[in-house]
Chain A
Amino acid sequence: MKNAFDNFMSILAEALLHLSESFGNMQGLSFLCVKILIVITVLLLVGAVFLSISKKGGHISSVLTVIFAAGAVLLFLIAPYSGMLVVRPSGNPAEVINEFMTDICDQDYEGAHALCGDNAAFGTERNPADDLEGIFLEKLRNGFSYQLIGNTFMDGLTAKQYIKVRYFYLPATEKDLKERTLEILDAIVQDSQKKDVYDEKNNYLPGITDEAYSQAVLQTVGNGKDYFYRTEMVEVELHFVDGVWKMQMNDALRKVLNGGVDSTEYFCSNVKSNALEDVTYIPKIYMIDEAALAGPVPNKDLFGETTDSAEVQAVVDSASELIGDHELRWNPDIERINGTKISYYCDETILAISWRQKIDGEYCNVSEVIIADPSQLRRKLAGDTFGYPVQQPATALAAEANAVFALNADYYKFRYNGICVYQRELYRCEMKSVDTCYFDEDGNMLFSRAGQFSSEDEVRKFIDDNNVLFSVSFGPILVDDGEICETKSYPLGNIHENYSRSSFGQIDELHYLMVTINRTGGHEEGGRIENSAIIMHDFGCEKAYALDGGQTAEHIMDKHFVSHVDWSEERMVSDIIYFATAIPDNQE
């Protein structure tokens, strides 16, 4: 009891001391407000006393009312200058660091994640895509050792500690790999007949280069020379959250855990390209981490806006590698709406074109996107949290996400309908009223109909079996397997009336088409859902789904809307779907 009382008194003394120091830190308007508050409080106290005397009652209560109210306002004014009054977190941050690094060294990644403040992947714990990647990852995982350097510095709820980490430095293997690959290739050429090594165009056969590269990996990375290892001093930060110390994954630590690269997946995909760049061209693979809340920043110079179709055609021609076998729906002969521009963006990983066109008498904005990797098709929620109470304009969300192209989604906060999946987690499971569209990890669209599922377990199984990343719930389904889906009645969207509409469609793998039908801009009617379905079907979409229309419907490129928005004013929304470039920021 005595200890508790002493403890309490020491905390109180510390808090009051801190508060009094805070007064000294106050400046400008805040300090003036405190002075005014004191004067007003004194006047009100006098007034309260007189009033209570004249009323012959409530003397103490009225005085206390003024004092408590003034106290609350004073706390409001002083809090920003005071920070935390008393900070006495429990636990030892150094122990947490030790435990974390031990888990990393022992490859107990689950334990390591439990000690982290976020859920982002380290990079080392993922399953390798093939055996060669497995060799890299095995060397990386087995190569960690660490040592804490100096004391832990604690400042309130933050702690910092330097650690020296020895790890397998992946980029160090590139030079040796390249040399060894070329050596092995020469040896193969010398030991084999020409027809077994070269094709008609005198290029190496893919099998030969692959064989040479594989052997090089086994012989260089597999041997694990000492100079492949590097020792680095890293500053680790911890935050005291919910009563425990949690590791904060800063860029330096993440890079060390990834063997000195931003992403092991990216490195392992492209090191082969680098090793064989002198003998053959292997396109680099870029991808975005699944847990990333935004894509890499797109190159502003690659955005364009023009009325000249030829200019856009030239851009399309430059993206022939990316387009490959895809059949573009855009062509320079399209009859666009007079006076409207074509917006575009093109780099190695994404081609996006947006134009306005009259289709079947409807005023439409058509956007076509081809991406190199499914990770470039993403969803952005306001606050990056499902259920976040704040809504924002779609252009603001697109800017936060570094979107190349974005469009409205289902505005999930507006109504409690449908099945909502985000980052593979099921957040809402209302199965009966609306159709739901899912996006899996391969960038393909999947559908479920209203009432298809009868239990939450079924929904979860569907999500797990199909590797669903996120979903949208508005609908109805417009096109499925290339056939128009008729909808006689639907609870959302006034489908038989004329409104602005927004549709999302998939033509083929990694090739998407988005169309809005707009109600204003000289075309007051808008469209019905069946018009949207016909348009998407005629464009050749295998799958198409209706998103939230009306004023919500918009297409966005380069942080501004490129489609016609009802009343020319954006609406506050809770979410968007967007396409991002996969080229990392330092690779431009």
Chain B
Amino acid sequence: MEPTALYIGNLQVGWSSFIIILAALVWLCCACSLVGMDGGRKYVIWVSFPFAVVFSLFIARFLNWYCHPEMYGSLKGAMASLMQKSDVGGFEMPGVLAGIIIAAIIAGRIKDSGGTLYLLDVMAPGTALGMALLYLTDRFGIGCRGKVTFDAPPVDPELFLYVYDGTSYRMALYMIQFIVLLLIFALTLLFRFKWGDRVLINGRGEGSTAVLFMLLLSAAEVPLDSARYDTSFLRSNGFVSFMQIISALVFLSVMVICSIRSVKAKRLRVLHWIIWVVFAAALGGTIYCEYLVQRHGSWYVTCYSWMSVCCIVMAVVCIILHISNFADEEHMPEAEPEGEAVADAADTGEVATVETDKGEADTFETDTGETVTGKEPAVMATDTASFDTKDLVLLDINNGTVQRFEKSYHESPEEKEYRKALAESLGIISEYEDDYIKERKRVAGSETYAFNTETMNDIRRRYSCTETDEPAKKRSVRQDAEEEKAVVLQESRRPAPRTTFPTNISVYTRDKRTWKKRRKR
């Protein structure tokens, strides 16, 4: 097959070059679309793109030189041929992964980027799809074929599954890689939308999609890389391939880290032991199958089938362990007695309060500056350890000031109504989405969440003296003193008993141009 697409003068461009460019663009667009759906800043992906391309190319070529030094003569020769020749092959896929990770680390340092883990999450599906397309370029070279030869293909070669190398037929492993990576792309994308932003117990919400992608990729690459006839090995050993070593490291590191997290959060349980035993058995099975297939090449069907099963089992148990670390209701504190419903406050326009057991009538200032005699607004005890998973951020861009709240997962309809009333009463939220579960990360709309009295007062304080889109009014010294007095008064009150509402509030501001994502706990 002719690998060259264009030959103009001395410039030679191969078909694979076009596919590589399209694969890079696919990665870029996929990541941008996911960021866009999250309401994030796409320019961060654009910034990371050249880093990803450059680092991927150089690291992939470097790794290929390291594994096959005699093909190039020297490292300099290997890098020089990268710029001059458009031959197919000469790159290692782990280099592509490394380049993307480095690009995510660099771009993660940008403000409003969402952080490295978030970027890895949004880049993961695009990476899977891009890698799938990159494997197609092997059709134009000699790489990524199976070890086993056939005089005649078991199936029609027009199914693209077998290629003729001049003397015999070999399986076109690049097609298998393509199909498997498409599947990984679909699974990663599905996970991203469904569970990708689930927070971990004592952990962050980002990174799960990237972990899933790496696990699935590792499970696929162990048998597929072993089946290749041009497998790359490190210089120190010729038994375990480079890709297999990386896959093993991924499995082991995910298993170790998730095990530690899970045991810390939930204490050692029988499930943990079951998972570890199953993982160890699957790992042992993988190693044994690899040993067998190297000794008995004709057993490839059985060996690779069982190897694939074992790798899938490893990936599944790692995923189960990782998912078990997702924060859920079990790890929330017991519900506190509910305060008085304050839905009425929405009608009266007054600030809602939460009735406490020991609340005493007192006076306090409303957001309009009036002094109201009423029930004492409860100041909630802050107990960050118990309520970490219930941090809230109020999101509102309509008045140019945004405070982002992350939602509580377990909310009753009463809570929902309560928050709606509060929001409307404060005049902060101009728009309320019924289906906010899906919209909670949206930037363009507004969302409402529950918050405690302390925050409520805080918000009230912020907005009591300011109007929407108007510059802050000059305040008199007396007004400042009064406000300060109110704050001191509030702080001196004893903590209110807990309610079902969260106590840890992260409040930060944002205008339409900057996005301060860092939460304060």
Task: Give CA–CA (A57, B140) in the complex, Å.
Answer: 37
Q: Which residues of A contact B37 (CB under 8 A)?
A: 51-52, 55-58
| Interface check B284, CB cutoff 8 A | no
Q: Give the docked Cα–Cα distance between A240 and B34 (Å).
A: 46
Task: Tell me, yes or no, whether A222 is within 8 Å of chain B by CB.
Answer: no
Contact of B7 (CB < 8 Å), options: A86, A413, A427: A86
Min CB distance B119 to A, Å, is 15
Residues of A within 8 A of B (CB): 11, 15, 28-30, 48, 51-52, 55-59, 61-62, 64-65, 68-69, 71-73, 75-76, 79-80, 82-90, 156-157, 240, 242-243, 385-393, 396, 400, 411, 413-416, 420, 427-428, 551, 566-567, 569-572
Tell whether, in the assembled complex, residue B26 and residue A65 are in contact, meaning their CB atoms are under 8 Å apart: yes
Interface residues on B, range: 35 or more
Contact of A386 among B70, B147, B156, B296 (CB under 8 A): B70
Q: How many whole Å from B352's CB to the nearest CB in chain A?
A: 30
Contacts of B232 in A (CB 8 A): 389
Q: Which residues of A contact B36 (CB under 8 A)?
A: 52, 55, 57-59, 61
- Other A-B pairs beyond A29-B156, A55-B37, A414-B238, 8, CB < 8 Å: A59-B36, A61-B29, A62-B33, A65-B26, A79-B2, A86-B8, A157-B4, A411-B238
How far is A389 from B63 in the complex, measured between Cα atoms in Å? 13
Number of A-B residue pairs having CB atoms within 8 Å of each other in the complex: 169
How many angstroms from the CA of A505 to the CA of B185 in the assembled complex?
Answer: 56
Closest chain A residue, CB of each to CB of B299: A569
- By CB atoms of chain A within 10 A, which of B34, B37, B140, B147 has the most? B37
List chain A residues, Cβ under 8 A from B444. 56-57
Contact residues in B for A572 (Cβ distance below 8 Å): 147, 229, 297
Taking a contact as CB atoms closer than 8 A, the residue among B133, B296, B445 that contacts A69 in the complex is B133
Distance of B209 from chain A, by nearest CB (Å): 15
Is B516 interfacial (CB-CB < 8 Å)? no
Contact assessment for B26 and A569 in the assembled complex, using a CB-CB cutoff below 8 Å? no
Q: In the bound complex, how far is the Cα of B290 from the Cα of A67, in angstroms?
A: 39
Which residues of the partner chain B approach A58 to less than 8 Å between Cβ atoms? Answer: 32-37
Q: Which residues of A contact B462 (CB under 8 A)?
A: none
Q: Does B298 contact A (CB under 8 A)?
A: yes
B445 contacts across to A, CB distance below 8 A: 56
Residue of B nearest to A569 (CB): B296
B1 & A73 in contact (Cβ 8 Å cutoff): no
Q: Do B29 and A68 have beta carbons less than 8 Å apart?
A: yes
Residues of chain B in range 1-31 having any CB-CB distance to chain A below 8 Å: 1-2, 4-10, 12, 15, 18-19, 22-23, 25-26, 29-30
Which B residues form the contact surface with A (CB < 8 A)?
1-2, 4-10, 12, 15, 18-19, 22-23, 25-26, 29-30, 32-39, 42, 68-72, 89, 126, 129, 133, 136, 139-140, 142-143, 147, 149, 156, 158-160, 167, 229-230, 232-233, 235-238, 294-298, 442, 444-445
Residues A387 and B133 in contact in the complex (CB < 8 Å), given A52-B36, A58-B33, A569-B295: no
Least CB separation from A414: chain B residue: B238
Closest to B442 in A: A56
Alpha-carbon gap, A567 to B295, bound state (A): 7
Residues of B within 8 Å of A48, CB to CB, are 33
Q: Is the CB of B71 within 8 A of A72?
A: no
Taking CB atoms, residues of chain A closer than 8 Å to B30 are 61-62, 65
B133 touches A72 (CB 8 A): yes
> CB-CB < 8 A to B238: which residues of A?
411, 413-415
CB <8 Å contact, B158 and A30:
yes
- In the A-B complex, list the 5 residue pairs whose CB atoms are closest, starting with the nearest: A387-B70, A58-B36, A58-B33, A243-B10, A61-B33
> Hey, which chain B residues are within 8 Å of A84, CB to CB?
2, 4-7
B19 and A75 within 8 A (CB):
yes
Verify A68–B19 contact, CB threshold 8 A. no
Which residue in chain A gives the minimum CB-CB distance to B297? A569
From known contacts A29-B156, A52-B37, A69-B129, infer whether A88 and B136 are also in contact, taking CB-CB under 8 Å: no
A240 to B68, CA, bound (A): 28
Question: Is the beta-carbon distance between B295 and A551 smaller than 8 angstroms?
Answer: yes
Contact B142 A390 (CB under 8 A): yes
- Given the complex, which residues of A lie within 8 Å of B29, measured CB to CB? 61-62, 64-65, 68
Residues of B within 8 A of A156 (CB): 7
A400 to B167: give the CA distance in the assembly, Å.
9
Contact A391/B229 with A61-B33, A86-B6, A427-B70 known, Cβ cut-off 8 Å? yes
